[in-house]
Structure 1
Amino acid sequence: MDGVSTAILLLLLAVISLSLTFTSWGKGQLPPGPKPLPILGNLLQLRSQDLLTSLTKLSKKYGSVYTVYLGPRRVVVLSGYQTVKEALVDKGEEFSGRGSYPVFFNFTKGDGIAFSDGERWKVLRRFSVQILRNFGMGKRSIEERILEEGSFLLEVLRKTEGKPFDPVFILSRSVSNIICSVIFGSRFDYDDERLLTIIRFINDNFQIMSSPWGEMYNIFPSLLDWLPGPHRRVFRNFAGMKELIARSVREHQDSLDPNSPRDFIDCFLTKMAQEKKDPLSHFQMNTLLMTTHNLLFGGTETVGTTIRHAFLILMKYPKVQARVQEEIDRVVGRSRMPSLEDRVNMPYTDAVIHEVQRFADVIPMNLPHRVIRDTPFRGFVIPKGTDVITLLNTVHYDSEQFKTPREFNPEHFLDDNQAFKKSPAFMPFSAGRRLCLGEPLARMELFIYLTSILQNFTLHPLVEPEDIDLTPLSSGLGNLPRPFQLCVRVR
């Protein structure tokens, strides 16, 4: 088949897909939205800006619930705290499906804990939550691992001797080692090639998927599969990651003792053996590979990216950094590392960390959801199988929930007595049935890492604080901070 014939075939498939989509308009009272064009959908309304900005702008015109077409794919978009909360929390079961995300689906084929659906997802989530708890998630034992890893990170920072450095790789190695110790049974040395390869694959993919290339692939995957570009590197990275994980699984199989599991992989292999005669079992080899990848990706990139945002913010606002250090000195001192027990006595530090997460808004559009049945919602009816985008950026920047949403302001999480206060509109880990299962681990890491670093060092920018740019480099899957270097000087 020549190139012209292929292009015509793709065009016909797109037209058929769009026609089938339009026929479902009568199957419910869909929310309003901009009129789509054949094949392109609403691409013209989205063409001039990044997808996040465009969708946020459309919500101001069409309201907190509206319909948009990303190419031929119909999507309902939700914005603002009240609307998102009503969907993910109040109607959590109805909105519990996983929506289409082609750049991931190309790799996972709907397998693994993050991108599976239905009974498989429920079984995998229950199993994974239990196993992670068994290996210390949210408990003292995992705190000890974080403290140990934090001490290795501090040593690396001391070796910079106050000279400028890029924090990306240094932070990624340390953060990734926490989830690696749970999955693989032990941490890696910082120069271990397996750890370095994991980080290269994850960092590169997160950057590409947060770029316009990643956004366009999710809108027109069939077309971009034929085109050159950095998006093709995503799938090479996925393949390399899968092989790396498979090699570790083979090593585990050779030394497995079902009565004494060492880590997540051992527990999964044991479960596979227990259910090997069940043709309906959800515990298969590919599911193990995909779930391990999902845990590694989620446990490495988001925490590391959040800490980089925190570095930029603390350097831009040195008075905030100094006040956090004063609280650390008063509550913890200098003779020991901070522990989770200190957090209750450190309301300002806790507020700063929460405000960093709100302000940085690392996953601004959430992963897509899908309604699992025809769902009445705010005067409309969303047909079964419709993808739903929940704009978490409009939750974190909701002026009814935060006094100065466009400003970094730790007072958002402090009451009149300067005690820490929670906010229901704090959703960096999403909410409801699809709440990130790594939330307890991530919260522990952020507190221990940031307090330990600020206990020992002061962060210094290479430019004047007022010249630090906090606007993201790109806003696709993630809000990526702009590249920067800094100096850390011993206090």
Structure 2
Amino acid sequence: MFGISEFLVALVAFLLIVQFLKLQWAGRQLPPGPTPLPFIGNLWLLGFKLHPETLEKLAQIHGNIFTLWLGQSPVIVLHGFQAVKDGLTNNPEDVSGRPTTPFFNEKASDKGIILTSGHTWKQQRRFGLMTLRNLGMGKKGLEQLIQEEARYLVEYLTSERGQPLDPSVSFSQAFSNVICAVVLGHRFSTDDETLQQLLEANDCLLKSGGSLSERLYNTFPWLMDHLPGPHKKMVSSHEFMYRFAKEEIRCHRERGVPDEPQDFIDFYLAQMVKCRDDPTSTFDEDSLIHTILDLFIAGTESTATTLRWALISLVLHPDVQGERKAKEGTHLDAWHVGSDPVLPLFIRQM
């Protein structure tokens, strides 16, 4: 008779064989590439990182168009200028979609803008761009709002003169408030607890991208759902931001959509009513929630990071900061965080 240990070994062996055959079957319609192993694909061959040198060697073996398996997800690699040019110009529709993963498939559910493709992406993106332009994006209508946040930011930095500080936090607060004002119709005070939680959740989701915990989740989603670990923080961060957006929508609905919409949520709710009987419409509350998250996540970190790089440039070139600041002794190269200067801190972070 088989004991428990023998049964478990047999079960694992069976699952490995099934997974291997499944990958072989799925790869029949894909370009050639290195043989994937069950569950981890070609991650072992890549050292769990995408190094250009490794891709160069694989291209010499399998050609300029080959398939890699990152876990259970196939990735088509175009190597070299000609392969990339042909892919983008001759087959634009085939390379225009977003890669999907089990984590974001479960959380985004083909909603919003960033993680969608095809009809949904086209409809949501077109509406998003049109609405943001109506709200002043790229026009002077948004200038006053940005100047207001810039004034709060300058006042904060001025109040901390001579004291150790990390300005990256205040940068994120300022830009997130611009997004909140446009999308939600209001800003938060810099010491608001909800704003702090939003920024922490946003930071967690961005840092988790490409992390080991995310790769494990995407490789074994059914298993990781029942195990503790850093991926649980990813899930809780997404759930917090989801609840936040849902609550903002509820408040807007209770207030009622005005005759002249004041923010992105107002415009979207009006569009939902307008497209109520359109069977091709992708406008619903869940899509609105994920679009809010897309705008917040993408609009906050990208701009704050750009400003941090600008700050580094000022540190390296203090002569461009202006004669008045030089006389007051407020050169950015005199700013410190604890015992470390700002410049090394930012370089370590990026």
Normalised TM-score (structure 1): 0.60
1:232 aligns with 2:227: no
Q: Which runs of 5+ in 1 are unaligned?
A: 335-455, 473-479, 482-491
List aligned pairs for 1:166-315, cutoff 5 A. 166-312=166-312, 314-315=314-315
Other-structure match for 2:154: 154
Closer/same/farther in 2, CA of residues 469 and 258 from structure 1, 3 Å limit = closer
Work out the CA distance in 2 between the residues paired with 1:324 and 1:9. Answer: 68
Work out the CA distance in 1 between the residues paired with 2:78 and 2:142. Answer: 36
Shift of 1:200: 1.7
Work out the CA distance in 2 between the residues paired with 1:254 and 1:99. Answer: 37
Work out the CA distance in 1 between the residues paired with 2:10 and 2:16. Answer: 10
Closer/same/farther in 2, CA of residues 46 and 310 from structure 1, 3 Å limit = farther
Larger relative helix fraction: 2
Other-structure match for 2:321: 325
Native 8 Å contact 2:318 2:331 kept in 1: no
SS in 2 for 1:98: coil
Work out the CA distance in 1 between the residues paired with 2:66 and 2:72. Answer: 16
1:59 aligns with 2:55: yes
Native 8 Å contact 1:149 1:178 kept in 2: yes
Shift of 1:246: 0.9
Letter in 2 for 1:38: P
Q: What's the Cα RMSD here?
A: 3.4
Other-structure match for 2:332: 458
Closer/same/farther in 2, CA of residues 13 and 180 from structure 1, 3 Å limit = farther
Deviations 1:75-110 (A, max 9, x none): 123466775565456643321112113332221112
SS in 1 for 2:24: helix
Identity %: 33
Closer/same/farther in 2, CA of residues 90 and 155 from structure 1, 3 Å limit = farther
Shift of 1:172: 1.2
Closer/same/farther in 2, CA of residues 115 and 160 from structure 1, 3 Å limit = same
1:468 aligns with 2:340: no
Letter in 1 for 2:29: K
Native 8 Å contact 2:314 2:321 kept in 1: no
Shift of 1:210: 4.9
Work out the CA distance in 1 between the residues paired with 2:294 and 2:44. Answer: 33
Letter in 2 for 1:234: M
Work out the CA distance in 1 between the residues paired with 2:13 and 2:246. Answer: 38
Shift of 1:168: 3.3
RCO higher in structure (CA 8 A, sep ≥6): 1
Letter in 2 for 1:184: L
Work out the CA distance in 2 between the residues paired with 1:253 and 1:9. Answer: 53
Work out the CA distance in 1 between the residues paired with 2:141 and 2:255. Answer: 24
Aligned length: 336
Shift of 1:114: 1.2
Q: Quick check: which has more Rg, 1 or 2?
A: 2
Work out the CA distance in 2 between the residues paired with 1:175 and 1:10. Answer: 50
Closer/same/farther in 2, CA of residues 43 and 250 from structure 1, 3 Å limit = same
Closer/same/farther in 2, CA of residues 85 and 264 from structure 1, 3 Å limit = farther
Native 8 Å contact 1:18 1:73 kept in 2: no
Deviations 1:88-142 (A, max 9, x none): 5664332111211333222111211111222111111110110011111111222
Letter in 2 for 1:57: E
Letter in 2 for 1:307: L
Shift of 1:230: 1.0
Q: Which runs of 5+ in 2 are unaligned?
A: none
Closer/same/farther in 2, CA of residues 55 and 252 from structure 1, 3 Å limit = same
Native 8 Å contact 1:311 1:459 kept in 2: no
Closer/same/farther in 2, CA of residues 80 and 163 from structure 1, 3 Å limit = farther
Letter in 2 for 1:160: E
Other-structure match for 1:19: 21
Native 8 Å contact 1:66 1:76 kept in 2: yes
Shift of 1:18: 4.5
Normalised TM-score (structure 2): 0.82
Work out the CA distance in 2 between the residues paired with 1:457 and 1:82. Answer: 48
Other-structure match for 2:92: 92
Work out the CA distance in 2 between the residues paired with 1:174 and 1:159. Answer: 16
Shift of 1:308: 3.1
1:103 aligns with 2:111: no
Work out the CA distance in 2 between the residues paired with 1:461 and 1:210. Answer: 32
Shift of 1:245: 0.9
Letter in 2 for 1:40: I
Deviations 1:159-192 (A, max 9, x none): 1122111233212111111111110112222122
